[in-house]
């Protein structure tokens, strides 16, 4: 496989609203990110994926874009953006822009025009439908609740929105619309960015008449065209968000021979605590499922694709809260998760604060919730007679605000995030969990991440090595070996808060190069793993 810069890279996701405020208005901004570049350089990351910073009315915190060529004034100016690209670049850090082109804001000029009349030249940039028997054209649902169709009084038609009604869906079947998107992408490529993270890319080929939302028949033709017309000639990282992807679908996107994307985000692992399709319907973490799913993806792609590796992002609960223990074994389990993920094959992503072991942030009342998805779910369920307490419990477990509370920098007021009133409450655990405390403790979670990120840059074994699961007979334990040109790496992890008796035959006495407990010589034929214990060892033949 041809080598790419993003093969041994680690990407850090920034949710700009919550990263660092520089002017005391309570909202994170681009100058705040510039101020924190030293911190990111110290962590060792290769690139930043910046959640959207474009002009937006913020119905969905920037995932509703009103102008792709302008920076949201709350976040700064285009000059700030250029400075960020340049200053990050000086530190060897690329900027990956979030590309949200499944939909725009209803305040985008195209939609404002489109709404004016049926014969407006922008009408077909969106998807319109006559009422059927005085009602919505069909039963398609919005992912944020309710119908996916919104009636427009003035022109007497419905428009499609798979997200909020302030996020009308773009019509990818329209070649003029596609050309305008490609021009916009070139504008950003010319600014020297390192790539694109592509929001809900799986939905571009939608065919609402046939009730098709994801994986429509034209999807891959559109992505191939986009590749050819824009980033194909540049050495960029492109990563598509694909909730419905299985390994076969992933290969369609990321097989280099198909000239589409570098990789996708698949979400199968994130369903390990979900009972059925509904994200709000949870169950206890299913560790065997989690292991099976990780193994499946490690083995499936081969040379026909490339994995992304992540535990969390701005839509998911905090990793340590979902997969570890965010109370007694917070530090141990956060390090365990880092060790397991970062030694797999693929490109790892770290979501801001994950490297500090930041946790979910419970609320007492719906008035504290900012996220539109949680708000809509709450309103819908309350109207059906659900109990407030049950709904808040769901939101505290899975709600998107958990990951969106401000970054915890130090123990000063508002965790050092802002000198003003933060737009979203700061987690009260910030006096204990913060970057300064981590940086001052050489055994902190931060340094586990730093070590893993550096190791990947230096060892082809982690980047290109084969993957084999080692069967331990223990449901709660995950063990694997990576192998490359006669070198071997063994990784062992306990996903539970219980002791686990490991007895693996055929391994020599080992010493760990990274671990979350102090380790001496390891005898794997009789090793009792402590709660959430994890380590990795190089094996010399
Ligand atoms: O997410 C896509 C998506 O399908 C989510 O709405 C997902 O169902 C939900 O977040 C699970 O909790 C992307 C962005 O990552 C998300 O932040 C946006 O809200 C959404 O697209 C619309 O742009
Ligand atoms: Ca600010």
**373-399 as b/e: b if 16+ CB within 10 A:** bbbbbbeebeeeeeeeeebbebbbbbb
- pLDDT of res. 182: 98
β 47-50/54-55 pair status: unpaired
**For ligand 1, atom 14, which residue shows the shortest CA distance?**
199
Q: What is the 3-state secondary structure (H, E, C) of 16-80?
A: HHHCCCCCCCCCCCHHHHHHCHHHHHHHCCCEEEECCCEECCCCCCCCCCCEEEEECCCCCCHHH
- pLDDT of res. 170: 98
Token output for 315: 């839509």
* 33 Cα–ligand 2 center, Å: 10
Q: Are 262 and 237 in contact (CB under 8 A)?
A: yes
pTM listed for this prediction = 0.98
Distances (CA, A) of 232 to 9, 227, 229, 259: 20, 5, 7, 7
Q: Which residues pair with 282 in a beta bridge?
A: 274
Reference 350, options 36, 46, 18, 20; nearest CA is: 46
Identify which of 14, 49, 61, 63 to mutate to test ligand 1's pocket (most ligand atoms within 8 A of the CB).
63
Nearest-atom index, ligand 1, CA of 372: 19
- pLDDT of res. 540: 85
* 358 Cα–ligand 2 center, Å: 22
Question: Residues, the chain, total?
Answer: 541
d(CA 377, CA 144): 7
For the chain, helix, strand, coil in percent to 5 are 35, 20, 45
Q: Which residues contact ligand 1 via a Cβ below 6 A?
A: 60, 63, 100, 143, 163, 199-200, 241, 243, 279, 314-315, 373, 400
DSSP state of 235: -
**For ligand 1, atom 18, which residue shows the shortest CA distance?**
63
Token output for 215: 């994986």
**For ligand 1, atom 11, which residue shows the shortest CA distance?**
315
**For ligand 1, atom 2, which residue shows the shortest CA distance?**
200
* 99 Cα–ligand 1 center, Å: 13
Q: How far is CA 240 from the centre of its chain?
A: 10
- pLDDT of res. 1: 83
Q: What is the pLDDT along the chain (541 residues), one digit of tens a residue?
A: 899 999 999 999 999 999 999 999 999 999 999 999 999 999 999 999 999 999 999 999 999 999 999 999 999 999 999 999 999 999 999 999 999 999 999 999 999 999 999 999 999 999 999 999 999 999 999 999 999 999 999 999 999 999 999 999 999 999 999 999 999 999 999 999 999 999 999 999 999 999 999 999 999 999 999 999 999 999 999 999 999 999 999 999 999 999 999 999 999 999 999 999 999 999 999 999 999 999 999 999 999 999 999 999 999 999 999 999 999 999 999 999 999 999 999 999 999 999 999 999 999 999 999 999 999 999 999 999 999 999 999 999 999 999 999 999 999 999 999 999 999 999 999 999 999 999 999 999 999 999 999 999 999 999 999 999 999 999 999 999 999 999 999 999 999 999 999 999 999 999 999 999 998 899 999 999 999 999 999 998 7
Contacts of residue 522, defined as CB under 8 A and 6 or more positions apart, other chains included, come to: 509, 510, 511, 512, 535, 537
Quick one: which ligand is closest to 420's CA? 2
* 153 Cα–ligand 2 center, Å: 38
- pLDDT of res. 44: 98
Quick one: which ligand is closest to 64's CA? 1
β 11-14/47-50 pair status: parallel
* 286 Cα–ligand 2 center, Å: 40
Nearest-atom index, ligand 1, CA of 163: 22
- pLDDT of res. 519: 82
Nearest-atom index, ligand 1, CA of 398: 12
Q: Which of 64, 98, 106, 199 is catalytic?
A: 199
Catalytic: 199? yes
Q: What are the helix (H) ranges across 126-241?
A: 175-190, 219-229
**For ligand 1, atom 7, which residue shows the shortest CA distance?**
315
Catalytic: 466? no
Q: Which of 241, 315, 325, 371 is catalytic?
A: 241
Quick one: which ligand is closest to 26's CA? 2
Identify which of 68, 98, 200 to mutate to test ligand 1's pocket (most ligand atoms within 8 A of the CB).
200
d(CA 464, CA 479): 18
Contacts of residue 377, defined as CB under 8 A and 6 or more positions apart, other chains included, come to: 145, 280, 391, 394, 395
**For ligand 1, atom 6, which residue shows the shortest CA distance?**
143
């Amino acid at each position: 496989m041809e080598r790419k810069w993003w093969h041994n890279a680690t990407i850090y996701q920034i949710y700009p609203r919550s990263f660092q405020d520089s002017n005391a208005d309570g909202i994170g901004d681009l100058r705040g990110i510039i101020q924190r570049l030293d911190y990111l350089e110290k962590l060792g990351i290769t690139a930043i994926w910046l959640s959207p910073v474009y002009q937006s009315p913020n119905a969905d915190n920037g995932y509703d874009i009103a102008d792709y060529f302008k920076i949201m004034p709350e976040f700064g100016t285009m000059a700030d953006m250029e400075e960020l690209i340049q200053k990050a670049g000086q530190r060897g850090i690329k900027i990956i822009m979030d590309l949200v082109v499944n939909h725009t804001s209803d305040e985008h000029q195209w939609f404002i025009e489109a709404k004016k009349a049926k014969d407006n030249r922008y009408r077909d940039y969106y998807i319109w439908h006559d009422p059927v028997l005085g009602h919505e054209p069909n039963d398609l649902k919005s992912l944020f609740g309710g119908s996916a169709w919104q009636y427009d009084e003035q022109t007497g038609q419905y428009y499609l929105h798979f997200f909020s009604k302030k996020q009308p869906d773009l019509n990818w079947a329209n070649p003029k619309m596609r050309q305008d998107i490609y021009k916009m992408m070139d504008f950003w490529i010319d600014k020297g960015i390192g790539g694109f993270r592509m929001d809900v890319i799986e939905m571009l080929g939608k065919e609402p008449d046939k009730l098709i939302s994801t994986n429509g028949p034209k999807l891959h033709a559109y992505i191939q065209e986009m590749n050819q017309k824009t980033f194909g000639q540049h050495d960029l990282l492109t990563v598509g968000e694909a909730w419905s992807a299985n390994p076969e679908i992933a290969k369609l996107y990321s097989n280099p021979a198909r000239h589409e994307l570098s990789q996708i985000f698949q979400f199968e692992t994130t369903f390990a605590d979900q009972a059925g399709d509904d994200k709000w319907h949870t169950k206890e973490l299913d560790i065997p499922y989690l292991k099976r799913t990780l193994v499946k993806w490690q083995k499936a792609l081969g040379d026909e694709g490339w994995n992304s590796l992540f535990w969390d992002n701005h839509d998911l609960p905090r990793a340590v809260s979902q997969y570890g223990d965010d109370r007694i074994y917070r530090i141990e389990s956060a390090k365990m998760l880092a060790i397991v993920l970062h030694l797999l094959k693929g490109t790892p992503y770290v979501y801001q604060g994950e490297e500090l072991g930041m946790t979910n942030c419970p609320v007492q009342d719906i008035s504290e919730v900012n996220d539109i998805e949680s708000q809509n779910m709450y309103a819908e369920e309350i109207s059906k007679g659900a109990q407030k307490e049950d709904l808040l419990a769901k939101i505290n477990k899975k709600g998107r605000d958990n990951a969106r509370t401000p970054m915890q920098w130090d123990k000063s007021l508002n965790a050092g995030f802002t000198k003003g009133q933060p737009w979203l409450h700061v987690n009260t655990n910030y006096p204990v969990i913060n970057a300064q405390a981590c940086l001052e403790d050489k055994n902190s979670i931060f340094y586990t991440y730093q070590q893993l990120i550096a190791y990947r840059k230096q060892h082809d074994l982690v980047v290109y090595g084969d993957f084999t699961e080692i069967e331990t007979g223990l449901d709660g334990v995950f063990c694997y070996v990576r192998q490359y040109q006669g070198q071997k790496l063994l990784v062992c992890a306990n996903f539970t808060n219980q002791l686990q008796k490991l007895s693996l035959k055929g391994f020599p006495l080992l010493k760990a190069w990274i671990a979350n407990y102090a380790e001496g010589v390891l005898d794997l034929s009789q090793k009792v793993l402590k709660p959430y214990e994890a380590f990795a060892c190089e094996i010399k033949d």
